[in-house]
Every structure is written in C-alpha cells, then in structure tokens.
Structure 1
Amino acid sequence: MLQVLSGVWALLLGIVLIMLGNGMHFTLIGLRGGIEGFSAAELAIVTSGYFAGFLAGAHLTPRLIRRVGHVRVFAALGSFMSAGLIAFPLFTDPWAWTVLRLLLGFCMSGVYVTAESWLNAASTNETRGKVLSAYMIAQTLGIIGAQYLLTLGDAATSVLFIGASIMVSISFGPILLSVSPAPVAEVARPMPLPSLFRSSPLGTVGIFLLGAVYATQSGMAAVFGTQIGLTADQIALLVAMLFGGALLLQYPIGWLSDRTDRRKLIFSAAALGAGSCMLAWVFGGGLWPLMAAAFFAGGVTTPLYALFLAHTNDFLSAEDMPAASGGLVLAFGVGAILGPLITGSAMQLLGPFSFWLVLGTIFGVIALYALYRMTQRAVVPAAETESYIGMLPTTSPVAVEAASVWAAEQAEAKLDADGQF
C-alpha cells in the first residue's frame, strides 16, 4: 500500500487540505447564517446553490480542460474558490451567498474532475482500487478535521472564513508542484435517465433520493444545530459524527455487499438510517442521542452511494458503465439540489427537528422501494456481481467511471480465476 501511495501522496495531501477548507465553509454557512438571522428556508436556498454549481462544474470542466489544460484550470478554479471563501463575511445577504455558493460548487466540482484525472492517470489496473480508496479516506479525514478547526475561532468574525481560504490556497502547492502531465479528462455522455431507469430502477431512484439525504446532512445539519441552540463546538461535533460514521461503516457494509443480495443490504442500511433519524426526531432533546443518530444516519449514507453504483453496474455491460455513471451522478445532483429546499421549508413550517423527520422519511422511502424491487426482479448471484468500491457522493464522474471500470475488471478476473478450478 505504501508503494502505491508513494506516487500520489502529494495529490492526496492536497485533497486533505482542500477538504479542510471546504468542510469548514459548509458548517460555517449554518453558523454564520444563524448569527446573521437568516431563516432555514433562506439557508436551504444557499445550500442548494452549491450543488447546482457542482452539477454544472461536472459537466463543463472537462471542456475547459480540453481547451486550456489541467494546470490552468486547476489553478484558476482554486483562485476563484479561495476568493469566494473570503467574500462570505463581506456580503452577508442570502442571495449574495447563493451566488457565492454556486461559484464554490462549480469550482469544487472542477477541482475534483482535475484531481481525479491525475489520480486515474497515476494508477494502474492493479492499483486503481487502492488509490480510489485512499482518495475517499483523504476526503473524509479532511472534512472531519475541518470540524475541529472550526472550534479554534469565532464564526461571528472573518477569521474562520480566512482560515478556510488559506487552506484551499496552500492545498494547490503540493499538487501543482508534483503532478506530471495528465491525459485529457474524458467523461462519457451521461446515459438518459429513462434508459438508466429501465436498466436499474432501484439504482436510479435510490441515488436520486440519496442525493437529497446527503445534501441535507452536509448543508443543513449546522442550520439545525444553530436553531436548537447548540454551541459551535457541539455543531462541529455533530457534523463530524455524520462523516465519522461513514468512515467506520464503509468497510463492513462493503464486505457484506460482495457476499449477499445488495437489495437486502440497501434495505437494511436505509432502515437503519430511517430508524436513527426518527429516534432523533422523537427523543433528540439530549446531545448524545443526536450524536448517535448523526453517526448512524451519516454512516449509512456514503456506503449506500457505493451500493447503488455497484447494484446498477450489476445489470449493465462493461461498455455501458461509463455512460451510466454519468447518469447516476446527474440523478444524484438533481436530488441534492431539491433535498435542502424541501428540508428548509419543513424546518421553517414545522420547526428545526423536522430536519430529522425529512431525512427519516427519505430513508424510509428508499427502504420500502428496495423491498418492492425485490419482488420485481430475481436476485443476481453474488458470484456474478460487480465488485464494491467505496466512493464518496462528492466525487466527480471521472472517479465514478474509473471505479466502475475497476469493478468490472475485478469481477471478470474473479470469474476467470474461478473458471480455472
């Protein structure tokens, strides 16, 4: 593993630093928005702006890279992102923040496309799985670490926004000084959603709903914490628990994924998420019940994303996987835009604890739809399924395509090996 990471350590270090800055700004929006008196509905629009920009960036960045190259695109997006982070305390207005979030989402998506293109180029068929796993861990550790950094300053001042900008700015040093030229970022044209739905109804519907879950968790958790009176340190811990759960539950769920009916695992994970959220909604008056709910609800979200990718690939040929990956990213992005808007409206009308009610309801719909799909299609034998690989929902189509191709190659190699005995 160390030999594999020796060629990409600078990229991974840069990703950790970027996620420190980006993770700080996600939570800061809720903290500072509460201080400024923004409503839950207004902050929901701000949150959705990020994911709208992210979806646009995933589509447009490969074109920019083909036109001017990886290094220029990477440096330009990093500069815009750093400037945008500093601008938040200068323009404390919900609509100005929405525009800034659109910009940051676009830039962050472009950074992912560029960095993942370099990672993919630096990997071989034998090392790609380990590199992608290390990339996922680097992102998650960066987000968790960002929550600790938030405890070192006051959200009412500009200090934390400046700190986030500094993290993003210095992250480009190790990346730009160490990377070798990468091939042009090629992203397959997304499969139309009706075609994707015909191939895998559960994968398409599930990942759309999961987009709403992920965006609500990452964008509205701090808003919820602010509205119920948690301290800044407690809010940072709440967000850290969401991502810490994902880091710890990814492996056992992934291990089970290659050994059982994935629809049963999707149902179980979604049911766990729904149960955790409903307990927080009913009994969430104490701090530690909220932390436990965040751990399990966040803990199943990222594995569910990888499960939906793997389940969809089980019903596709290797040639269709790249296009399907783009379609799944599109479905996830649309859900991510809508999720915070629905949650913000519910929190505005029903109170802050409807944050958990909305999350639990969406998880419940995923679980029920998984049960329904079990009655409509025969199970795919575990020996014939594609390999599972942990992926964060924030990855671009570049990494999703690379993971799908790797999974297909691993499954084919496994079949070949089994056929020799």
Structure 2
Amino acid sequence: MARYVSANYRFFILILVVIIAGLSQGLLLPLLAIILEKAGVSSGANGLNAAALYIGTFLTMLVIEKPVQKLGYKRVITIGVVLVTVATVLFPLWQNLAFWFVLRMLVGMGDSALHYASQLWITSSSPAGKRGRHIAIYGMSYAIGFSVGPLGIKLLPYGMWVPFVTVSILFALAFFLLLRLPHEYPVQEEKSPSAKRRYVGAAQIAWFALIPSFLYGYMEASINSNFPVYGLRMGISEGWVSFLLPAIGIGSLILQLPLGMWSDRIGRKPVLMLSGFLGALTFLVVPLFGAHVWGVFVAFIIAGGLVGSFYSLGLAYIADLVPKASLPAANIIASINFSVGSIVGPNLGGLGIQYVAPGSMFYFLGGMFLLFTICGFFFQRAKQQEESSLIHFTN
C-alpha cells in the first residue's frame, strides 16, 4: 500500500537530503586536496584528481533521464545516497591517486543522481506561485551544507577516517528518511518531441540561462579544490583555510533569497548580469590581500553573496523561458554544464597555480564572470528570435 505523506513533509525530507549532500561535497573537496598537498602531490595532479567527481557527474547526466522515468524520483535518490555513502567510507582505506580517482567518480555519479532527481521532483511538484521560493530554499539548503562541510577538516587530527565516517553516518540518516517518501514519477506526455529536438530546442531558447550553472560549477570546484593549495602556499594555515572556505556559502545564504525575490520583480537577467559583474570584480581583488585572512574572508563573503545563487537563479530563469515539457531536458543540460565547469575549474586553476601564479585562479574566475556579463547583452538582442522559437517549438 502506498504511503501518504504531505507535500510539505516531502519537501522537508528532500531539503534535508540536499543539505547533507552539500555538506559532503563541501568537505570532500578541500579535505582530499589538503591530504594530497601534504603528500607532495603537485597542484596540477591534485586538480585533475578533484575533477574525477565531476567526470562522474557528467557521465551520469548523459543517461539519467530514462532511469528517473522508469524508477521514479525516490529510487534514484536512494541509489545516489547509497553510492555516495559506500564510496565515502572507502577513502581512508587506501591513499592512492588512481583509487581515489575512481571513488571520486562514484561520489560524483551518486551526487548528481540524487541532485537531479530531487531538484526535478521539487520543481515539478511545486505550485507555480511557490516554485521560485522553493528553488531558492533548495539553493540555500545546499549552500548551508556546503558552508558547514569544510569545518569537518577540523576532525582530521582525530584520525583520517573520522571526517569520512561522519559524512557516511549523515547519509545513512538520509537513507532512512527517504524510506518514508512515496514513489512518484515524472509526468510524460504521449506525444512529446524527440530527445534531440527537446535538447536542441531548450538550448536555443535558454542558452544564456544555461551559462550560470557552468559558472557556478567552475567557481565552486575551483575555490574548494584550488584554494586550499593556494592558501597553504601563501602561508595560510589549515585552520584558517577551513575557516575561509565556508565564507562563500555564508555570503550565498545572506543574499540568496533577496536576490531571488529581486529577480521576481525586475527579471532574472539583469540580476544575473549585475551580480556576475560585481562578483568578477571581487574575485579579481582577492590576490591583493595575499595572506591577510580577514581581507580574503570579506571578499569571499561578498563574492559568495553575489554569485553563490547563480545555480538556483539559472534554474529559475530556465523555467521562465522553456516549455514545461522540455524542463527535464533543460535541467539535464544545466547539470552537464555544471559538471563541465566543475571539471574545467580545478584543472585550469591547478595549472595556473603551478605554471603561472598562485593568484591566477582568481583572475580566471573574474574573467569568466565578466565574459558572462558581456554575453547578456547579446541575449537581449535575440529576444524576439527566442519568442518565435518558443512558439515554433511548442507547436
């Protein structure tokens, strides 16, 4: 017999799962980077190893749509939780680059599965009047977990296995909470467009709205994978690194809901463009602070507040632009963009630290967000074309 739970309870459980997933990712990226840096691994190899998580995410996004349709939201989220839990607890068993590369891929696969299914479940089941608010809460919840995650580095002195087991216990809790949820499936239309047409159509209509997911992935992975290396080389202690990393998430928490509400009033595009421009300037000044941790902390708070909501704002903008039938396809494209950005970020940042200058990771970040702002003006000029494409696509 199917178990009935209220929509609010389901939303609450999904938000808890997202918080735990954010905590896991916020801890694993800097924790593994610090362990490898102490082991003498080069920043380039460190960044490449970190990218394995997002390679797993990318590969999962290529095939995730059909499993969600066949298995439903709950089963896919549960499979993702189990995969992340098992992989996480295996990290301390063998400190080997190849072994960790595989484990990080598995974490990325599980993490992307649970995120895709949960965000699609939330957006598809939320009333139109509450959808924007729910997406903002989703983004804030991930930011909360992601901000708290790096504090787990302080558990490292008690034993290398302690942070990993702690995360695994939290995921076990998420597993048991998920068991109470009902099985639900995405709505499928009998005469839906072909897969190719849905993906191409969504990309043509919402190409600018799909860029924020790439930038958020690039920023998140670069900061959490490269900044520990940057910080240690600049003379910042591990304790301060674990203190500084959550600042991005704290800034995101402060401005996530206000920016979302502001975008409801004046539109997503101007908010994204202004936030991207100011965020770019903030990243560009970070190297000027050197090892002055309070200057870096304030800059991270500001930058996180400005661009920390890019992923959720991008999803809301996508929902504004594309037909409902193509929303799953557009979400997959956004997730793939996030994965690509997350792969490029640690590698480009790691190579920059190794061969250019430690501060180059922030110059790359600033340049990316400036380029995004420029792209916004071209998207504005194509507005009439987008509207005609939307009419054609839905007929």
Deviations 1:341-383 (A, max 9, x none): 2111111112322221211121222223334555x34699xxx
Higher relative helix content: 2
CA separation in 2, counterparts of 1:291 and 1:81?
A: 30
CA separation in 1, counterparts of 2:208 and 2:77?
A: 35
Are residues 201 and 58 of structure 1, via their aligned partners in 2, closer, same or farther at CA, if it must alter by over 3 Å?
closer
Partner of 1:359: 365
Residue 253 (structure 2) pairs with residue 236 (structure 1)? no
Offset of residue 98 of structure 1? 1.7
Partner of 2:226: 220
How does the TM-score come out when normalised to structure 2? 0.81
2:30 counterpart (21, 27, 31): 27
Offset of residue 45 of structure 1? 1.1
CA separation in 1, counterparts of 2:212 and 2:128?
A: 29
Residue 284 (structure 2) pairs with residue 278 (structure 1)? yes
Partner of 1:41: 44
CA separation in 2, counterparts of 1:91 and 1:227?
A: 26
Checking the alignment, whether the CA contact within 8 Å between 2:52 and 2:108 is kept in structure 1 is yes
Checking the alignment, whether the CA contact within 8 Å between 1:19 and 1:143 is kept in structure 2 is yes
Partner of 1:108: 111
Are residues 307 and 130 of structure 1, via their aligned partners in 2, closer, same or farther at CA, if it must alter by over 3 Å?
closer
Partner of 1:247: 253
**What is the letter of the counterpart of residue 180 of structure 1?**
P
Aligned residue for 1:258, secondary structure, equals helix
Checking the alignment, whether the CA contact within 8 Å between 1:36 and 1:92 is kept in structure 2 is no
Offset of residue 75 of structure 1? 4.2
Partner of 1:150: 153
CA separation in 2, counterparts of 1:138 and 1:205?
A: 22
Are residues 51 and 273 of structure 1, via their aligned partners in 2, closer, same or farther at CA, if it must alter by over 3 Å?
same
1:58 counterpart (54, 61, 73): 61
Residue 180 (structure 2) pairs with residue 181 (structure 1)? no
Offset of residue 236 of structure 1? 1.8
CA separation in 2, counterparts of 1:76 and 1:4?
A: 22
Are residues 108 and 206 of structure 1, via their aligned partners in 2, closer, same or farther at CA, if it must alter by over 3 Å?
closer
Checking the alignment, whether the CA contact within 8 Å between 2:19 and 2:142 is kept in structure 1 is yes
Deviations 1:268-305 (A, max 9, x none): 21221111111112233310111122122222223333
Checking the alignment, whether the CA contact within 8 Å between 1:117 and 1:185 is kept in structure 2 is no
Checking the alignment, whether the CA contact within 8 Å between 1:12 and 1:138 is kept in structure 2 is yes
1:394-413 to 2 correspondence within 5 Å? none
Residue 335 (structure 2) pairs with residue 335 (structure 1)? no
Offset of residue 108 of structure 1? 0.9
CA separation in 2, counterparts of 1:199 and 1:308?
A: 13
1:137 counterpart (137, 140, 154): 140
Are residues 155 and 270 of structure 1, via their aligned partners in 2, closer, same or farther at CA, if it must alter by over 3 Å?
farther
CA separation in 1, counterparts of 2:167 and 2:205?
A: 42
Choose 364-373 or 113-122, whichever is displaced more: 113-122
**What is the letter of the counterpart of residue 310 of structure 2?**
L
Choose 261-270 or 126-135, whichever is displaced more: 126-135
What is the aligned length? 377
CA separation in 1, counterparts of 2:124 and 2:112?
A: 18
Checking the alignment, whether the CA contact within 8 Å between 1:121 and 1:182 is kept in structure 2 is no
Are residues 238 and 199 of structure 1, via their aligned partners in 2, closer, same or farther at CA, if it must alter by over 3 Å?
same
Offset of residue 28 of structure 1? 0.9
Checking the alignment, whether the CA contact within 8 Å between 1:272 and 1:296 is kept in structure 2 is no
1:162 counterpart (152, 158, 165): 165
1:299 counterpart (302, 305, 311): 305
Checking the alignment, whether the CA contact within 8 Å between 2:61 and 2:332 is kept in structure 1 is no
Offset of residue 20 of structure 1? 2.8
Choose 50-59 or 115-124, whichever is displaced more: 115-124
Aligned residue for 2:182, secondary structure, equals coil
Are residues 116 and 302 of structure 1, via their aligned partners in 2, closer, same or farther at CA, if it must alter by over 3 Å?
same
CA separation in 1, counterparts of 2:339 and 2:197?
A: 14
How does the TM-score come out when normalised to structure 1? 0.77
**What is the letter of the counterpart of residue 95 of structure 2?**
T
Partner of 1:289: 295
CA separation in 2, counterparts of 1:125 and 1:217?
A: 34
Choose 27-36 or 196-205, whichever is displaced more: 196-205
CA separation in 2, counterparts of 1:250 and 1:84?
A: 31
Checking the alignment, whether the CA contact within 8 Å between 2:120 and 2:328 is kept in structure 1 is no
Are residues 168 and 228 of structure 1, via their aligned partners in 2, closer, same or farther at CA, if it must alter by over 3 Å?
farther
Aligned residue for 1:151, secondary structure, equals helix
CA separation in 2, counterparts of 1:184 and 1:265?
A: 31
Are residues 306 and 135 of structure 1, via their aligned partners in 2, closer, same or farther at CA, if it must alter by over 3 Å?
closer
CA separation in 2, counterparts of 1:253 and 1:322?
A: 24
Structure 1 stretches lacking a partner, 5+ long: 385-421
Offset of residue 322 of structure 1? 4.2
Deviations 1:205-255 (A, max 9, x none): 554444423332343333333333322321222221111111111223223
Structure 2 stretches lacking a partner, 5+ long: 1-5, 388-395
